[in-house]
Amino acid sequence: MKINNIGPSGVNPYKNHMKQQQVIAPNQAKSDQVEISSKAKEMQERSQFAADRQEKVAKLKVSVENGTYQVDPKTVASKMIDYYFNK
Q: Is residue 63 part of a domain?
A: yes
Whether 22 maps to a domain, the answer reads: no
pLDDT bucket at 76, cuts 50 / 70 / 90 = very high
User: Is the CB of residue 69 less than 8 Å from the CB of residue 63?
Assistant: yes
Identify whether 52 is part of a domain.
yes
- pTM (whole model) above 0.75: no
Residue 77 in any domain: the answer is yes
The whole domain housing 53 covers 48-86
Q: Where are the beta strands (DSSP E) in 7-60?
A: none
Is the model's pLDDT at 51 over the cut of 70? yes
pLDDT band at 46 (very low <50, low <70, confident <90, very high): confident
In total, the chain counts a number of residues equal to 87
Residue 7 has a pLDDT of: 65
Let me know if residue 71 belongs to a domain.
Answer: yes
How much is the mean pLDDT over the chain?
81
At 28 the pLDDT is: 62
Q: Is the pLDDT of residue 74 over 90?
A: yes
Query: How many domains is the chain built from?
Result: 1
Look at residue 67 and tell me if it is in a domain.
Answer: yes
Looking at the domain assignment, is residue 43 inside a domain? Answer: no
State the Cα–Cα distance between residues 34 and 40, nearest whole angstrom: 12
CA angle 67, 71, 72 (to 5 degrees): 145
